[in-house]
Structure 1
């Protein structure tokens, strides 16, 4: 985990919005640790990722996720647009991606990616992961649910909840044992 002061310093760089400023239009996903919902911000569709806070550790996890996103600026890594830090609400705002998750495109939409489209997604995700590793971050949950596709079919890596800085990883650190989706759906 990043030193608390660094995470807080980076997170405070984002505009802080009131939860009332981004009313929910519909729920996109709900898990034990977070909720994603669509909203409008200044006439633009966005997604709000709200962390479900049940302990102090989850506030630190929220701060770390946002700090990592800001530190890892890259065209294929989602960038937060704003945050909501009004206890008990801890959330950040990101763009709404026109085509949604790669998983949905591959399994639910009835669409097929062309060979060129598939290679483009692979190149985009590889570029994101290469950049993360170059700046000392491991994503630790790369999967089709965490790859979003914009209106131009550009792939963007999201969900840095399990991510760690390589400098913070020691042999005795074990990832939290909770299914992330995938085969457990």
Structure 2
């Protein structure tokens, strides 16, 4: 007779996006609440990265506001050097982010493998990332967690900023909560004297220093030692610094790592700080007019024949996963949800970048705005960050593999000033 019940259901590609629209491919990352997989859209055949977060674990770890806030901020962001959101949706078990695919690995992976990077490579990354940071600040967003782990390469070697879990809108009101990974935190955060988007330029300076010299500029054995080093110690150079970095490069690092934000590179108002950085002699080899179109050939190209990420994630998915991801129809009855699950149901809304409509969720700017989508998955191909390592909310600071956030409610119940501390950043 034939198995009528086993025939595949037709997929409505004109309807709301869901997991049935994608073919699930290899697993490339793992976090506290979910994983990251490569997926292919069944209609367009485009490849993306699927970051999925288990709702129950999210509720248990008090991370619901973080996930919702990240979803909302990503809807406002679209830039050549950012891992952009392309689709968002949920089912009964998970929240899904479909992002630009980055196959070149993160800079932490390459730094640990190579020890340090050549000056021309670091200069190229700093130029690309400064473009992304300037864009974010121009639309009123500060990232607050710029570090090599959150910088991903596409297969051609272009750098992209990812992980907006503790990103936040900013205004004239300065924030006071400790936020970020401690080794990359600006001194004004640790000094608790209030801060704004200037902290991202400091973090970029720490990243550039670490990529060039294979070590961070400020260190400490304890939290208090680390805080003192970041807020008080003079900037020192390794003995072989002049062999690895030119004097103009050192001047850029010194400018980014200036504790006085009135002098720190990138921090002058109205975009002048970014323009000042672009004019610096260290960047004379950078063609800024073609940088964002990715016409320039990156000085470092990841080896496409090797896995630029931990291959054990795929093996674990095959052998150990007791609840493998698969597309499931949603349950009709959603009346008995907990408050947290209801919040995710209502506020983690679906998103489709092809519909070209982005919404500003800034409390003082709730109107719809139009932002053209300049890139597609074909232009940016590398893996996104390991999912949800940094999606916790709690009332205090603890040091472990999960991050801790302190919510400060805004008009929509989503925290805007949060904390993030991670064990690996205290080493």
- TM-score class, shorter-chain normalisation, is 0.7 to 0.9
Q: Deviation string for 1:2-56 (max 9, x for gaps)?
A: xxxxxxxxxxxxx853224334322222221442122222433321111232329
Deviation at 1:105, TM superposition (A): 2.0
Match of 1:103 among 103, 108, 118: 108
The answer to whether structure 1 residue 120 and structure 2 residue 363 are counterparts is no
Q: Aligned pair in 2 of structure 1 residues 91, 121: CA closer, same or farther (>3 Å)?
A: same
The residue that corresponds to 2:49 in the other structure is 47
Most deviating of 120-129 and 24-33: 24-33
Most deviating of 49-58 and 115-124: 49-58
Q: Aligned pair in 2 of structure 1 residues 34, 128: CA closer, same or farther (>3 Å)?
A: farther
Deviation at 1:93, TM superposition (A): 0.6
* 8 Å Cα contact 2:104-2:152 kept in structure 1: yes
Q: Aligned pair in 2 of structure 1 residues 16, 58: CA closer, same or farther (>3 Å)?
A: farther
Q: Distance in 1 between matches of 2:16 and 2:421?
A: 30
* 8 Å Cα contact 1:78-1:157 kept in structure 2: yes
Q: Distance in 2 between matches of 1:16 and 1:113?
A: 44
Q: Aligned pair in 2 of structure 1 residues 103, 73: CA closer, same or farther (>3 Å)?
A: same
Q: Aligned pair in 2 of structure 1 residues 52, 181: CA closer, same or farther (>3 Å)?
A: farther
Q: Aligned pair in 2 of structure 1 residues 169, 87: CA closer, same or farther (>3 Å)?
A: farther
Q: Distance in 1 between matches of 2:426 and 2:41?
A: 35
Deviation at 1:94, TM superposition (A): 1.0
- Using structure 2 for the length normalisation, give the TM-score: 0.35
Match of 1:148 among 149, 152, 156: 152
Instruction: Report how many residues are paired.
Output: 169
Deviation at 1:61, TM superposition (A): 2.8
The residue that corresponds to 1:63 in the other structure is 68
Counterparts of 1:14-93 in structure 2 under 5 Å? Answer: 16-42=16-42, 43-53=45-55, 54-55=58-59, 58-93=63-98
Runs of 5+ unmatched residues, structure 2: 1-14, 178-407, 409-416
Equivalent residue of 1:103, what SS?
Answer: helix
Equivalent residue of 2:26, what SS?
Answer: strand
Q: Which protein has the larger Cα radius of gyration, Structure 1 or Structure 2?
A: 2
Q: Distance in 2 between matches of 1:140 and 1:157?
A: 11
Equivalent residue of 2:83, what SS?
Answer: coil
The answer to whether structure 1 residue 165 and structure 2 residue 169 are counterparts is yes
- Using structure 1 for the length normalisation, give the TM-score: 0.75
Q: Distance in 2 between matches of 1:30 and 1:135?
A: 31
Q: Aligned pair in 2 of structure 1 residues 122, 169: CA closer, same or farther (>3 Å)?
A: same
